[in-house]
Chain A
Amino acid sequence: MIGRRLGLALVAVLTFVLAACGGGGTSSSGPVEIAVWHGYQDTEGDVFKGLIDQYNKAHPDVKVTELYSSNDLVLQKVLTAVRGNSAPDVAYMFGSWSPNIAKIPQLVNMSDVVSAPDWKWDDFYPAERQAATVGDKIVGVPALVDNLAIVYNKKLFADAGVAPPSPTWTWDDFRAAAAKLTDPTKGQYGWLIPADGSEDTVWHYVPMLWEAGGDILSADNQHATFNSEAGVKALTTLQQMAVTDKSLYLDTTNENGPKLMNSGKVAMLVTGPWDLSSLSDIDYGVQVMPTFAGSAGAHQTISGPDNWVVFNNGDKKKQAALDFVKWLTAPEQVKAFSLGTGDLPTRISVGKDADLLAKMNEKLPGSATFVENLNNVKKVRPQVEQYPAISEALGQAIVSVMLGKDQPAAALNSAVQAADTALAGK
């Protein structure tokens, strides 16, 4: 009896050990297999899988496999995989991680690769190229581009008798309109801002800072400079709307924006094209962000381009991965993807395609304005690895002012101090 039990246990152990050892087989013949990790679901997922099928059919010597991985968590997963020597060959990564992922040894520096003329690197928007560049490294190829603009509810504007946003709007006009569109009895607000203090809060403030003529860091990236006059001016605008006018809904949980917009509780959002598809219940318009009267900053916006990042899993796979990414980001595929998903085209030449813009606008009104607004992306956030710490300090400052706990100058000064400490140390 005991013997039989032991036998069973041995079988169990053996099964376990064998199963654990089973994964290591690699074949030297057959197509080169490359793994692509991405965060596309629903429509985007279908279009993306369609492109991969198309590539696999045309290239019998390569087998591209795709794996869905939530974009928010992909960095943690990639880091784990890199440590376990099982990194994906290609992964979709947020642009804000670039300075940090540039330090991963297995990352393929694309700077020599994309300089080949057939990559048409200059055809990517400048902001995308800057966001992919860290020092002398190019960490990836633009996978997605977006920007912020005003999305407004046409009916609420008409009901309140307010003229819809125009390209000549200043922030004063914006503030006055938001105040008129606010009605506490109906629970209606003029504007909504993500106020959890995360980068989502920060990147709504940063284009205002730029428009007012300021910048986050000094030109040499050594010191924080957002407590400049321009920085205070931009934050004061937010303070006036949140604290004085109470026309600004502070979305401290960062969950409510599109839902409240779609239910007619908020008249304006400053957001990107990704929210348009959730606004199916309202008639909305899209307009570029306002300017500060008399500021040389003029119209600006911010873009958060994301990248396809290639990891080195041996020369054969690396080459196959580079070939695939090159194909995927070529104008033809960029156009097909934009047409299928409504995502903004990542290439300038495709963005000029009037026929495509008309089709995109028909599917999702306002898309064309977002594409044109890409020309207002003049700056990118600093590509330093301390950016998360800087963003955190700035985010806390912005929220404390909007909650009425602090004054703009004082809050920005202490955030600059924290940012400088982060920049100096490490």
Chain B
Amino acid sequence: MPALLDRVGRSETLSGWTLVSPAAVLIGIFGLLPVVMSLVLSFQHSDLLTPETPWVGLDNYRKLAEDPVFVEAIKHTIVYTALFVPGTILVGLFVASAMNRSVRFISVYRTTAYITMAVSTISQGIIFLWLTDRDYGLVNAALNSAGVQSQPFLASPTQALYVIVAMTIWGWTGFSVIVYLAALQGVPAELHEAAAIDGATAFTRFRTITVPLLGPANLFLVVWLTINALQLFDEVYATTRGGPLRATTVIVYYLWDRAFVQFDAGYAAAMAYALFVVILLITAVQFRIARKHAHIS
């Protein structure tokens, strides 16, 4: 037996595959298989209740194009992503730059910045609900004392989406701060010293040395945050439930609503696949642009 194992074991490939197989099997069952099955589901009519799932071809996809709520959901998702991604990156970069120096208690500040990532989405939602409450919220109390009228915020169809943008930027800042801090510490101090001797101002040094060297971090954050923004769900579920008047109904929230409230799983699967294709395309474009402009090995 040991001799046999020895002989088989000599094949590195085999032992490699054996080692990864538990993980591969799990990923296959819980990751890849559902992906394939939901593609099949998107061509069927399924209410999740009855075992019969008649094949309807492209019907679900055709229905998507004619669904005004879906179009609305796309608009909200785009507006959200367009504000959330740059917002989180700029705030994160600003905070990270401010922290990338030796000040006393810096680790306290760094922990504080990252701690928002440890707050569960539901708690975060409840905190913001009360902070921004029209009648009893702290934000309105502050506005009132500055002489500004109370705002409805999450209770207003015109403001709710922007409150969610602000809330999620707050929640994700810690993440981009950590990524940027790591990247900033990889910027060689000698470059800055040399440039300073040549008379470059702090701003010029930041623009011409730091920013280009942050390329990989930028790319990573843009891709990662975009994917997360397009899949926004928890924050909406925890605060506005897609309202008021569908003002915060984003694609994944609408998808969930169709599948699990309206029992139209086939249609929801088609929506998920439409979103998947969009994410794939956007990510590909982002990579292409980034390869041209950034130093990515």
Which residues of A are interface residues toward B (Cβ below 8 A)?
2-3, 5-7, 9-10, 12-13, 16, 75-76, 79, 100-101, 103-105, 187, 189, 195-198, 249-250, 252-256, 260, 265, 385, 388-389, 392, 396, 399-400, 403, 405
Contact = CB atoms under 8 A, between A and B. Distances in A.
Contact of A3 (B9, B21, B240): B9
Contacts of B48: 79
A197 B18 contact: no
Interface of B: 2, 5-6, 8-10, 12, 14-15, 18-19, 21-22, 25, 47-51, 126, 129, 133, 135-136, 154-155, 157, 239-241, 243-246, 260-263
Contacts of A403: 157, 244-245
A250 B240 CA distance: 13
A100 B10 contact: no
Contact of B50 (A2, A3, A9, A103): A103
A16 B155 CA distance: 50
A7 B73 CA distance: 53
B244 A187 contact: no
A70 to B, nearest CB: 13
Contacts of A249: 135
12 contacts: A2-B10, A6-B8, A9-B15, A12-B22, A13-B21, A13-B22, A103-B49, A103-B50, A189-B135, A253-B154, A253-B241, A396-B245
A399 B47 CA distance: 28
B41 to A, nearest CB: 12
A9 B19 contact: yes
A187 B135 contact: yes
A252 B262 contact: no
Nearest to A260: B136
Interface hub of A7, A103, A253, A405 (most chain B Cβ within 10 A): A253
A105 B6 contact: no
Given A12-B22, A403-B244, 16 more contacts: A2-B9, A2-B15, A6-B9, A7-B5, A79-B48, A103-B50, A195-B244, A198-B241, A253-B154, A253-B155, A253-B239, A254-B241, A388-B262, A399-B243, A399-B244, A399-B245
Interface hub of B25, B157, B241 (most chain A Cβ within 10 A): B241
Contacts of B263: 100, 385, 388
A260 B240 CA distance: 18
Shortest 7 CB-CB contacts between residues of A and residues of B: A3-B9, A252-B155, A9-B18, A2-B9, A103-B49, A6-B9, A187-B135
B8 A101 contact: no
A252 B240 contact: yes
B47 A100 contact: yes
Contacts of A100: 47, 49, 263
Contacts of B261: 388, 392
B9 A16 contact: no
Nearest to B160: A252
Contacts of A253: 129, 154-155, 239-241
Contacts of A5: 9, 15, 19
Contacts of A13: 18, 21-22
A75 B241 CA distance: 19
Contacts of A105: 50-51
B239 A104 contact: no
Given A103-B49, A388-B261, A388-B262, A255 B19 contact: no
A385 B264 CA distance: 12
A253 B164 CA distance: 13
A198 B61 CA distance: 26
Contact of B136 (A254, A255, A265): A265
Contacts of A79: 48-49
Nearest to A254: B241
Contacts of B8: 3, 6
B18 A196 contact: no
Nearest to A104: B49
Contacts of B50: 103-105
A6 B18 contact: yes
Given A2-B9, A6-B8, A253-B240, A76 B136 contact: no
A346 to B, nearest CB: 26
Nearest to B259: A76
A6 B19 CA distance: 7
B208 to A, nearest CB: 47
A199 to B, nearest CB: 9
A94 B42 CA distance: 28
Interface hub of B6, B49, B51, B262 (most chain A Cβ within 10 A): B49
A12 B8 CA distance: 17
A196 B241 contact: yes
A252 B19 contact: no
Contacts of A195: 155, 244
Given A16-B25, A389-B262, A252 B244 contact: yes
Contact of A6 (B15, B136, B244): B15
B49 A101 contact: yes
A356 B146 CA distance: 56
B9 to A, nearest CB: 4
A250 B15 contact: no
A197 B244 contact: yes
B241 A16 contact: no
A197 B243 CA distance: 7
A406 to B, nearest CB: 9
B87 to A, nearest CB: 23
Contacts of B243: 196-197, 252, 399
Contacts of B10: 2
A5 B10 CA distance: 11
